Chain A
């Protein structure tokens, strides 16, 4: 087997979760002999993890709504991905995900504005 391109793109946790849900449906409709055991294990465990994360309550629409709203903050792709995946609820969380926060966000209000936008767009994560 050869690796043609290591990273075509990155996926958000929500995308992976919804894809695995559709795979599960497909697998369930098959006869027992046609199912793939290894896939069932990893899909179950990955879903278990993701269902306890903020990805469980998100959907494509809310993420698409959030991305353009984050544009004025000039975040990198990786930072945006992290914000979607972890949904920071306070400034400490956000500065953890954004590199050189102090230089890029000299005013705390800016960072608070970002938190407000994220909290408005993305639904709260499931309770543990």
Chain B
């Protein structure tokens, strides 16, 4: 999930900051610039890990800022392809499921990558996995918003966004998106595969069916 990346950037330090600890000022400036931001083709920056090198500082003619080239290591969120991650379902539509891991919410599992055979319920706009059972009608295992699921990363897509986006474009355009799949044994809701929680899951289904009946 998380990697350490070695980056280099030029940092300007304002004259009034000369008095404080240089390392601290540089860390703060770097965090301000990068924390919680997506760097194209790298990932989502979380936090500066440490500073490896502070190059020679120089002052440009006509200004008081002191500039230094800084080499530093950053904690970056960038899952590798095939990595399995636990996430929460936050959105459900005919196209598929949107998942969230709190600090990153652009994870999408397209409908064709849900466990087979999957059915979309128009009423409530939720997906369920239809599991065949002996002597019984097939069980409906729901993947509704709020459930914790496991998915396997299949692709990470980076897009360089222009700064002048309209509000509507900002909602649909994503600078970093993770595509995943849930069509494999062990993937999907976490409760499906643990034997002792199976009963609970079934009860859950019954509850839901009762609610639907009312």
Contact = CB atoms under 8 A, between A and B. Distances in A.
Contacts of B28: 34, 36
Contacts of B47: 19-20, 23, 39, 42-43
Interface string B9-51: 1000000000000000000100110111101011000110100
B31 A36 contact: yes
B194 interface: yes
B3 A8 contact: yes
B186 A4 contact: no
Given A49-B103, A92-B185, A97-B84, A11 B2 contact: yes
Contact of B103 (A8, A36, A42): A42
Contact of A95 (B77, B83, B148, B186): B186
A41 B4 CA distance: 20
Contacts of A4: 6-8, 71
B31 A11 contact: no
B101 interface: yes
Contacts of A10: 2-4
Most buried by B among A38, A42, A85, A96: A42
Interface residues of A, dominant DSSP: helix
Contact of B75 (A2, A11, A90): A11
Contacts of B84: 82, 86, 96-97
A48 to B, nearest CB: 5
Nearest to B71: A4
A1 B8 contact: yes
A46 interface: yes
Given A16-B75, A34-B28, A95-B186, A49 B102 contact: yes
Interface in B83-102: 83-84, 86, 101-102
A36 B3 contact: no
28 contacts: A1-B7, A1-B34, A3-B5, A3-B6, A4-B8, A8-B3, A8-B5, A8-B6, A10-B2, A10-B4, A13-B1, A13-B2, A15-B2, A19-B75, A36-B28, A36-B32, A38-B31, A38-B35, A42-B36, A42-B46, A46-B102, A48-B102, A49-B101, A86-B86, A93-B193, A96-B186, A96-B187, A128-B148
Interface of A: 1-13, 15-16, 19-20, 23, 34, 36, 38-39, 41-43, 45-46, 48-49, 53, 78, 82, 85-86, 89-90, 92-93, 95-97, 99, 128
